[in-house]
A and B are shown apart, each in its own frame.
Chain A
Amino acid sequence: MYLRCICSNKYEYAIGKEEKKCITLPSTVVLPHDLIVELLSYLPVKSLVRFRSVCKSWKTVIYDPTFVKLHLKRSPTRNPLFTLTTYHVPRTLGYYYSVIPYPISRFIENRSFNLSVDPYYSLEDKECSHIVGTCNGLICLSHYSYIDDQFNKEFWLRLWNPATRTISPQFGYFRGFYVFDFKFGYDNSTGKYKVVAFRYHNQKSNVRILSFGDNVWRDIEGLPAVPVHLHFNYHEHAAIGCVYLCGSLNWLAIHNINEYNYKDITVGQFLIVSLDLGTETYNQYMLPRRVDGVLSGTPTVSVLGGCLCFSYSYKETDFVIWQMKKFGVEDSWTQFLKISFHNLQVECNFSKPRMMHYFELVPLFLSENGDTLALTSIGDSNAILYNLSDNRVEQTKFTAARITTSGCSQWRNQKKITGWAAKKFMTYNL
């Protein structure tokens, strides 16, 4: 073996000495700093947190936002996660439970497993009761307290990184009444995490945005169309009516709610209203025209395989999912799946009152290889796994639900969190 890498000064000095002795091989091959950084970006978060202690330059690198971005780039497609929530019995006041990030691939391979819950994942000591959303491994939490009578609440947020085990202080205080909803997302253009609060009341919508770091709520223009599920089904709205994708929030909407007749629903009535988290302006996208016929219940939106999807029940016999293969391109709507309820081993009772408003079967996620689709039935809540390649259906014992958040708001100046630099808060995908 020969001496190869000329990198740190220490090594050059060693080479100078060694060369005179006609080169003997070094006991360790030394790598240059930039290659070490490359290697670090392949490590899981827990190791990186530990290796901060290796030396000062490593500690600086590991916290550097450029490195964080590089690490994030490596992770997303490699090991997608979803969050498991486990309820603790007996429940204390509020909805205290644990939230555990868990690899989707592991779940698909083995649906029955024992999970020992590290007490760290409990929400109780974080004093939060709801999950607003997750993005790039960060979890946005929320909580509230009553101010006076039951109708006035003060509401706040916390941003939690379970991988690095860091959590922000409370921020984004809200005060007021009337129910509204929150969504959490990431703006690619500025590299900022944002929370959007929106409500729909009396045929008017109010939308506010908060950037993590600024920590101030800003009013923006209301939605240009009526968010259908927020109007009819606000308890489930977060699960079926609005999704985060590619730096935008997307609502299933309709222009004129007064013309909406749930007995005579056609796809052509709907559109997607998309809020770009960067520009904070709206785009509107049509749904595929090729869907004809009357649907049984309002369609729902979801995200599968990184694509915006909408799904519905067709003629009370089939479940259909469409994917927008290229986000924002209306021509890219492609039918992803059409399967009978019979083959899904799902019994849909179309006379149930809820069914009149929306169709309860909702896609949850698609495995990385595109073979396994997980669905949940809002109401029964048991997750179903459907294998697209061999048509196998498996009912699981997991209840899978999206957590909805309801809170109150009054549009006025909020407390500003000072002294918390956003850059201190690393984001690592797990």
Chain B
Amino acid sequence: MAQEASSSTSSKTISLKTGDGEIFEIEASAAKQMKTVQRLIDDLGDDITIPLHNVFSKELPKIIEYYKKDITGEITKDFEAEFVKDLNDDEVKVLFLAANYLDANKLFEFLSQNIADRLESKSVEYVRKYFGVENDFTPEEESKLREERAWSFRGIKEDE
């Protein structure tokens, strides 16, 4: 059964069930781009609904949209810009985590670069908040670090 699935035409669709119980369809060729999904298909067969416990109904459609464009070779810089334009920081992070869970390499790399681009000119304080990281330097240690590399603190954006 699994053998048949991998050699079938791209018109074959796979059913994916999110962690919150919703079902979405995706073309088999797009599913192949997500290694976790493909592994599940290989184990469970392509006729049953594939459960994705860690992906939810808010982000899966977006991911499906991305890979729909990918299999038709339509991913352009404009599409990618549009894709992330209205996402806030948390939404991008959630997509990023989902791409990681699904082992969807192309989307993962794209989102990695996008998050990096968002953070590139940000301040240290902003980045701490963004990642939920605590500052464990003493005030003296921190001011010493800043002094040593003062040049890297120039030209950063104001925190919103």
Q: What residues of chain A have their CB less than 8 Å away from a CB belonging to chain B?
A: 1-2, 4-5, 8, 10-11, 28-31, 35-36, 38-40, 42-44, 46-47, 49-56, 58-59, 120, 165
Contact = CB atoms under 8 A, between A and B. Distances in A.
Contact of B93 (A10, A31, A42, A120): A31
Given A4-B54, A29-B93, A35-B97, A56 B152 contact: no
B132 interface: yes
B39 interface: no
Given A51-B124, A53-B145, A55-B134, 6 more contacts: A2-B19, A35-B97, A47-B119, A53-B149, A55-B137, A56-B137
B149 A50 contact: yes
Interface string B129-147: 1111111110000100110
Given A42-B116, A46-B152, A47-B119, A36 B146 contact: no
20 contacts: A1-B94, A2-B56, A4-B97, A28-B132, A29-B90, A39-B116, A40-B116, A42-B115, A47-B119, A47-B152, A50-B149, A50-B156, A53-B124, A53-B145, A53-B146, A54-B127, A55-B137, A58-B133, A165-B149, A165-B152
Rank and list the top 9 A-B pairs by shortest CB-CB distance, nearest first: A42-B116, A50-B152, A49-B152, A29-B93, A53-B145, A30-B132, A43-B116, A53-B124, A28-B132
A143 B145 CA distance: 31
Contacts of A5: 97
Contact of A44 (B120, B129, B134): B120
B54 A52 contact: no
Contacts of A51: 124, 127
B131 A120 contact: no
A36 B133 CA distance: 11
Contacts of B121: 47
A11 B132 contact: yes
A22 to B, nearest CB: 14
A11 B134 CA distance: 12
B94 A50 contact: no
Contacts of A59: 145
A43 B142 CA distance: 21
A168 B56 CA distance: 51
A25 B61 CA distance: 20
A50 B100 contact: no
Given A50-B156, A54-B124, A120 B137 contact: no
Interface residues of B, number: 38
Contacts of B124: 50-51, 53-54
Contacts of B90: 1, 28-29
Contacts of A44: 120
Contacts of A38: 112
A47 B142 CA distance: 16
B112 A39 contact: yes
A55 B133 contact: yes
A11 B131 CA distance: 12
Given A31-B93, A35-B100, A54 B133 contact: yes
Most buried by B among A1, A11, A38, A54: A54
Nearest to A29: B93
Nearest to B144: A53
Contacts of B146: 53
B96 interface: yes
A1 B135 contact: no
A59 B115 CA distance: 20
A36 B127 CA distance: 11
Nearest to B129: A28
Nearest to B151: A165
A70 to B, nearest CB: 12
B10 interface: no
A53 B139 CA distance: 11
B113 A42 contact: yes
A28 B131 CA distance: 8
Nearest to B98: A4
Contact of A31 (B131, B136, B142, B152): B131
Interface in B76-135: 90, 93-94, 96-97, 100, 112-113, 115-116, 119-121, 124, 127-135
A42 B118 CA distance: 11
B115 A39 contact: yes
B128 A54 contact: yes
B42 interface: no
Contacts of A49: 149, 152
B120 A35 contact: no
